[in-house]
Amino acid sequence: MRAWIIYAMAASAAYGLSAIPLKYAANRNNLSAPSELVLLSSCAGALIGSVAYLIFSWKSASALMFANKEAIVWSGLSGLISVAGSLAVIKALGHPLSDTSNVMALMNTNVFFTVVFGAIIFGEMPEGIELVRVILGALFIVVGAGIIAGKG
C-alpha cells in the first residue's frame, strides 16, 4: 500500500476521533463549555502536539531553520481557514439536537470542496475514467449529505 494512502487514512481516523472530545466539551448534554473555550483549548492541544512532534523529530525541527517564507504564509493561511472550520464543527457539535455521526458526515463533504477548489486553483482536473470516478464520487458525497441533512 502506498504511504500517502496510509497517512490519509490515519488522518481520517484522527479527525474522526477528535470529534468525540469536542462533542463532549461543547454539547449542552455534557460539559456545555463555550465554543470559544473549546476552540482555544483545541488549538492549544494542536500546538502542544506540534511542539512534541518537533522535539522528537530532529530532522523536522532542523528543517524549520531553512523554511521557505512563502510556504509559511500559505501554511498559516491554511491554519486560519482550519480554525474557521473547527469553530463551525464545534458550534454544530454543541447544538443540543446534533448527532456526532451526522455532523462529521456532513463535515466530511469537505472532499467535494477540495476537488472543486483543486480544479479551480491548481488545474487538477482528472482525465478519462478518473474524471468519471471523481464526478460520481462528488455526486455521492452531495447526495449523501442531502440524505443526512434531510434527516435532521
The pLDDT tens digits for 109-131 are 888 888 889 889 999 888 889 88
What does the alpha-carbon distance between residue 66 and residue 35 come to, in Å, rounded to a whole number? 37
What does the alpha-carbon distance between residue 107 and residue 85 come to, in Å, rounded to a whole number? 9
- In a 3-state reduction of DSSP, which class is residue 2? coil
Per-residue three-class SS string for 87-129: HHHHHHHHCCCCCHHHHHHHHCCHHHHHHHHHHHHHCCCCCCH
Instruction: For the beta carbon of residue 25, count every other beta carbon within 10 angstroms.
Output: 20
Residue 42 has pLDDT above 90, yes or no: yes
**Model pTM score:** 0.77
Most confident of 10-19, 37-46, 49-58, 93-102: 37-46
What does the alpha-carbon distance between residue 90 and residue 88 come to, in Å, rounded to a whole number? 5
**Phi, psi at residue 141, to the nearest 5°?**
-65, -45
